[in-house]
Structure 1
Amino acid sequence: MEQLKHECGVAMIRLLKPLEYYEEKYGTWMYGLNKLYLLMEKQHNRGQEGAGLACVKLEANPGEEYMFRERALGSSAITEIFGTVQSNFKDLPKEQLHDAGYAKRVLPFAGEVYMGHLRYSTTGKSGISYVHPFLRRNNWRAKNLALCGNFNMTNVDEIFARITAIGQHPRKYADTYIMLEQVGHRLDREVERVFNLAEAEGLAGMEITRYIEDHIDLANVLRTSSKEWDGGYVMCGLTGSGETFAVRDPWGIRTAFWYQDDEIVVLASERPVIQTALNVPAGSIRELQPGQAMFIHKAGKVRTVQINKPREVRPCSFERIYFSRGSDADIYRERKLLGEKLVPNILKAIDYDIDHTVFSFIPNTAEVAFYGMLQGLDEYLNEEKVYQIDALGHAPGHDELERILSRRIRSEKVAIKDIKLRTFIAEGNSRNDLAAHVYDITYGSLVPGEDNLVIIDDSIVRGTTLRQSIIGILDRLNPKKIVIVSSSPQVRYPDYYGIDMSRMSEFIAFKAAVELLKERDMKDVIAAAYRKSKEQVGLPKEQMVNYVKDIYAPFTDEEISAKMVELLTPKGTKAQVQIVYQPLEGLHEACPKHPGDWYFSGDYPTPGGVKLLNAAFIDYIEQVYQF
């Protein structure tokens, strides 16, 4: 319903055979390039703002370019960057196009190592200079670095202060630039360490270069550069000499998966994209573990190393609810279970009147949860049928059985997303009117004045689309009651690890709690939470406490939901409206391996999350109340 514009995606490919091998077996030396395109397109849901790719040729001769990069802005950036790359080849005669040796010597992007990135900004910083991969150039091949990632760092200020104090000078105050400078600095030191070893062995000239590229250890680089990072991340990189790496945060907040056979090594943000791109079973794909890094040596040897000690592992549950592709077997099962877990609260909301209720979903992300909800409702109805047949107390007649067994869960496609309406009108009043028609309805899908309408969505964060479009358009069907169901719990707190929701003013649950405090003459709760938060400013982040929880503490989930209904229901709505949320326990039962729930519970996995929440709450209160 409300598009949450997280999040970045990564893809890496390392070919383990010469380009001639792929030309002979697959009919093109562009096998790696084509697979990268597929991996990126299959993760297009993560890249609404830009995309980029980098390539390294192994064993290029001095004077020949060996490291290439292409970037573009916009939702069609993937097509644009690959179109630009292909433009280097399109006018070649067929013989040259299929000459892998010629491609390797002459053509740009004809390499063995590829890295791709899909970007969405969660910090408000945009433009081509912020699109990954980032490059750090050097005359030493091993010191060249390309970096990209799916991440947000919560302690950029601390890292920036520390690295500038020792003389480093990042080009921009942004976490990617700062991390590039950190990793690049440690890479320089690692090269110098190996250089000294080579000299001690009496090597000179190109012998030193080869020795460095054969003996460099990127695990040393990552250990020293990542130990202070606070946030959720999967960071990927490659060097000019062909070393490749990916490292995951020690809390396991962000995810990455990898696959290896004798032809190729692949890494991506999501498992099913590897399954699809390479046609391999899920069981052959490994997950990068919290705090772990995967390295691919320039010679093609793959190893994993524990870089940072795993902390309390808190993988992001929003990945499962909303962002990851539902084609993953585990995610599909979890989303169905999220829908099924809601059935008891849904039945309560409709007073168990299944016969006069139509069930539907908000297109398109809630569709899988909808199927789980239907499955749970079917099980409930079957139990009802058994009870009714037992209650007859005699051998039932045909008509009696038919009346009981003919009862069905009524499901319809009630809401239809009319995406093409969004793009034209920008003027205020016209735009508001247009927003009200982003969704259309299926007329005649329920009995006016008699039927309830239950409609499920994956999450309700801001409530904007409910207020501007959904409730008003559904009310045109004249249902007796509209029950909006969220497969996730109430979103109460900002995210600082890569999801685009970082301000307190965005959350309808927070607005509802504040309104309840005002109504009940409890403004002192707001003032006390503000005062305690303000007193924490300047403390080490490890000592900070989440006092925003005090805003919600006086109320039940149901009270907050009821207030949300008041705030979101347009004037003139005829139907009664209710919002039903997933309980936090239901989320954890459905997604037991992904307990990261800070946006619902306020229990942040890292100290930096609490620090940024504290700042956001203070900023909100001072803007609204002019403290």
Structure 2
Amino acid sequence: MSAEIVMPRPTEECGVFGIYGPNEEVARETYFGLYALQHRGQESAGIAISNGTEIELHKDMGLVSEVFDNDVIDTLKGDLAIGHVRYSTDNANLHVNAQPLVFRYYQGMLALAHNGNLTNADSLRRTLTATGSVFQTSTDSEVIVNLIAKYGQSSIEESLMKCMIDIKGAYALVVMTENKLIGVRDPYGVRPLCIGKLNDAYIISSETCALDTIGADFVRDVEPGEIVVIDETGINSRKAMTAPRQATCIFEFVYFARPDSVIDGDGVRNARRAMGRQLARENPVDADIVISVPDSGTAPAMGYAEEMGLPFEEGLMKNRYIGRTFIQPSQKMREQGVRLKLNAIASIVEGKRVVMVDDSIVRGTTSRKIVKMLRDVGVKEVHMMVSSPPVLYPCYYGIDTSQRDELIAAEHDVEYIRDHIGADSLYYLSQEGILSAMQNPPEKFCMACFNGDYAIDVEGKGDTNGR
């Protein structure tokens, strides 16, 4: 079973941050912003900074705290900066793929950071290569870079608008010239992007939690299909493209986003707690206590306990100090699996009928090991509650949920999964239930991983709409 431990959860590609602030310490603010977005990517981190004439870049593999220190930050001087934290969805965790990408083209220097995944990247790459473009990375982001260069005789705003006609899929971009900061969100709004203000500085960020970290005020979300340009004249906006519908990723609220973030007016923690309450309404069980799989299972577990009138207890302790040392553990450590990250608190759960709430089950490996851990300390019953519907389809928009045949719910029914993980019962939140927990209307969310209804066509996958 040791091979199954790899990628026990879906993983999100990255987080982006940018600041235009002539009177601010923009490198340091970007560092703090990336620190707040670290949950969105742990493989690499980078900051590009402009002094008005040149763009300087520092990036490397590792966590934000490993890539940057005070000495590095002190060398990054300028008035505007963009930053990036990355998790690769294609296993290409190479230094050359770290972002931001910085390049020279017809108009001067440009830096770009991207969150998401292009669904037509392969065909665009082939076309660009055939006409003379050169690629150094394996990222979708470099396709966007080459398209900007292709349209380089136009202004950067016009170049980006032309790019948006060509590219398909999910993208939240921060782009920086020598004197402009630009935010771009795809027409479906799959990935989050917001605007903040700190004194006279403007910020663009994947999540509002980064704004809170640096003491900035939230201004608004970048609208789907919008290009936001910030320069010495202030903030300017244009609606570049429209789509038939909005399709914000529901998994941002299930797992990816930090609980203290707000996306398109929906508070993440409030949504997760509402998911837990709805889960209790749909699936009440007799139990003594409710515990969570921390951290993203905590808010729905509290909601479940609240609705059922049961005590919520901290039955699993998370080790928050596991860093990159454990990314490639020894075989003995690998066999320990989840115990590196979680430990059951026997005094809380022993002899109890326990409801355990987690945000999702993708492959089933993690859930199985946690249930066994609880059994080993004498739990009487384990009732597994999942605060999202079964993950039945892979995501092509920037989340690594692997192939469909590796998704346990796509291959097996609930009873098989219950038996596989060793729980006394297993219940999922319904598709209708998860949508009822949101403030925004159901038609504004992408639920493709649950229902196969892909809002954006996926290259090489045939008709993905309404599957």
* TM-score of the superposed pair, with normalisation by structure 1: 0.67
> C-alpha displacement at 1:454, in angstroms?
0.6
Q: Does 1:143 align with 2:149?
A: no
Residue 471 of structure 1, aligned match among 371, 377, 394: 371
Q: Does 1:162 align with 2:127?
A: yes
Q: Does 1:153 align with 2:118?
A: yes
Q: Does 1:584 align with 2:437?
A: no
AA at the equivalent of 2:220: R
Aligned partners of 1:453 and 1:479 also within 8 Å: yes
AA at the equivalent of 2:408: I
CA change 1:3–1:481 in 2 (3 A) is same
Residue 290 of structure 2, aligned match among 359, 365, 375: 359
Cα separation, 2, equivalents of 1:430 and 1:440 = 15
Aligned partners of 2:50 and 2:80 also within 8 Å: yes
> C-alpha displacement at 1:252, in angstroms?
0.8
Aligned partners of 1:51 and 1:78 also within 8 Å: no
Q: Does 1:487 align with 2:416?
A: no
Cα separation, 2, equivalents of 1:603 and 1:480 = 40
Q: Which residue of 2 aligns with 1:111?
A: 78
Cα separation, 1, equivalents of 2:125 and 2:401 = 24
Q: Which residue of 2 aligns with 1:386?
A: none
Where structure 1 has 5 or more consecutive residues not aligned to the other structure, the ranges are: 23-29, 61-65, 89-108, 191-216, 379-408, 513-559, 570-575, 615-627
> C-alpha displacement at 1:178, in angstroms?
1.7
AA at the equivalent of 2:454: Y
Residue 9 of structure 1, aligned match among 10, 15, 22: 15
AA at the equivalent of 1:265: Y
Task: Name the stretch that deviates more: 413-422 or 113-122.
Answer: 413-422
Q: Does 1:41 align with 2:29?
A: no
CA change 1:411–1:184 in 2 (3 A) is same
Q: Which residue of 2 aligns with 1:411?
A: 312
Deviations 1:119-170 (A, max 9, x none): 11011112111011112225x6x32221111021111122123323444333
Cα separation, 2, equivalents of 1:441 and 1:171 = 46
Q: Which residue of 2 aligns with 1:345?
A: 282
Cα separation, 1, equivalents of 2:12 and 2:451 = 20
Determine which structure has more spread, i.e. the larger CA radius of gyration: 1
SS at match of 1:412: coil
Q: Does 1:51 align with 2:16?
A: no
AA at the equivalent of 2:103: R
Where structure 2 has 5 or more consecutive residues not aligned to the other structure, the ranges are: 1-6
CA change 1:169–1:442 in 2 (3 A) is closer
Aligned partners of 1:136 and 1:184 also within 8 Å: no
Q: Which residue of 2 aligns with 1:220?
A: 158
Q: Which residue of 1 aligns with 2:405?
A: 505
Aligned partners of 2:46 and 2:59 also within 8 Å: yes
AA at the equivalent of 1:6: E
Cα separation, 2, equivalents of 1:171 and 1:427 = 33
> C-alpha displacement at 1:173, in angstroms?
4.8
Deviations 1:319-363 (A, max 9, x none): 11111111136112111100000113332xx3xx3xx52211112
Cα separation, 2, equivalents of 1:68 and 1:7 = 24
SS at match of 2:354: strand
Q: Which residue of 2 aligns with 1:134?
A: 101
Q: Which residue of 2 aligns with 1:263?
A: 200
AA at the equivalent of 1:608: V
The structure whose residues are more often helix, as a share, is 1
AA at the equivalent of 2:292: F
CA change 1:126–1:477 in 2 (3 A) is closer
Question: What are the within-5 Å matches in structure 2 for residues 361-440 of structure 1?
Answer: 361-378=292-309, 409-418=310-319, 426-428=329-331, 431-433=334-336, 435=338, 438-440=341-343
> C-alpha displacement at 1:172, in angstroms?
4.3
* TM-score of the superposed pair, with normalisation by structure 2: 0.89
Q: What CA RMSD, in Å, does the superposition of the two structures yield over aligned residues? A: 2.6
> C-alpha displacement at 1:445, in angstroms?
2.8
Q: Which residue of 1 aligns with 2:448?
A: 598
Cα separation, 1, equivalents of 2:463 and 2:346 = 44
Deviations 1:381-402 (A, max 9, x none): xxxxxxxxxxxxxxxxxxxxxx
CA change 1:430–1:447 in 2 (3 A) is closer
Aligned partners of 2:350 and 2:380 also within 8 Å: no
Q: Does 1:562 align with 2:462?
A: no
Aligned partners of 1:219 and 1:305 also within 8 Å: no
Cα separation, 2, equivalents of 1:145 and 1:612 = 35
The structure whose residues are more often strand, as a share, is 2
Q: Does 1:310 align with 2:310?
A: no
> C-alpha displacement at 1:80, in angstroms?
2.4
- How many residue pairs get matched? 450
CA change 1:369–1:132 in 2 (3 A) is same
Aligned partners of 1:361 and 1:455 also within 8 Å: yes
AA at the equivalent of 1:561: V
Q: Does 1:292 align with 2:226?
A: yes
SS at match of 2:400: coil
Identity %: 24
> C-alpha displacement at 1:279, in angstroms?
4.4
Cα separation, 1, equivalents of 2:347 and 2:182 = 56
CA change 1:433–1:86 in 2 (3 A) is closer
Q: Which residue of 1 aligns with 2:57?
A: 69
> C-alpha displacement at 1:262, in angstroms?
6.0
